[in-house]
């Protein structure tokens, strides 16, 4: 009887161990699936943020003809205006210019219902767009920044 109890007890512990391993397998599998979903979610929604910062590391020297022609073509695959705007801002080339000088340089600003002040369309950004926003104080540019709508 003692030997049978020992064998029964051993089989019970083995069964519990196997059940625990099966449970751990499913927990690990669910954790892995959750981890993959979280990573994909982060990649998908961080893409616009990465793209916004990308232009700062790849500025292109401003060229008036290319700036104006890229507005007309409105080529969604080109980020030329975004890179040029980044160059203008990083080199402070817009500050202290008059509204007339800015219009001569960048063309006529666009109107945007949700953005205050004169803005220039730069590029698409997912479902949004990137804009160059100009702020004037005492008749000259006091601030220029790249924003999204």
The pLDDT profile of the chain, 149 residues, written as one tens digit per residue, is 556 666 767 777 777 777 777 676 666 677 778 878 887 877 766 655 555 565 566 788 998 988 888 765 555 546 788 889 989 998 999 999 999 999 999 989 887 767 888 898 888 776 778 889 999 999 999 999 988 87
Tell me whether residue 28 is exposed, middle or buried, using C-beta atoms within 10 angstroms of its C-beta: 0 to 12, 13 to 18, 19 or more. Answer: exposed
Instruction: Provide the 3-class DSSP secondary structure of residue 29.
Output: helix
- Counting every residue, how long is the chain? 149
- As given in the structure block, the two tokens for residue 41 are 């979610």
> What gap in Å lies between CA 90 and CA 24, rounded to an integer?
54
In angstroms, the CA 75 to CA 72 distance is 8
pLDDT of residue 105: 92
User: Distance (Å, rounded) from C-alpha 132 to C-alpha 117?
Assistant: 10
């Amino acid at each position: 009887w003692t030997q049978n109890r020992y064998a029964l007890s051993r089989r019970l512990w083995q069964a519990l161990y196997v059940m625990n391993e099966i449970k751990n397998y499913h927990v690990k599998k669910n954790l892995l699936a959750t981890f993959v979903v979280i990573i994909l979610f982060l990649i998908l929604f961080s893409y616009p943020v990465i793209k916004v910062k990308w232009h700062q590391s790849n500025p292109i020297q401003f060229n008036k003809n290319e700036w104006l022609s890229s507005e007309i073509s409105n080529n969604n695959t080109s980020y030329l205006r975004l890179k040029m705007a980044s160059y203008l801002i990083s080199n402070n080339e817009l500050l202290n210019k008059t509204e007339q000088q800015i219009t001569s340089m960048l063309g006529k600003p666009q109107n945007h219902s949700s953005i205050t002040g004169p803005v220039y369309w730069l590029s698409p950004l997912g479902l949004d767009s990137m804009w160059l926003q100009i702020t004037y104080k005492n008749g000259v540019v006091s601030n220029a920044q790249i924003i999204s709508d």
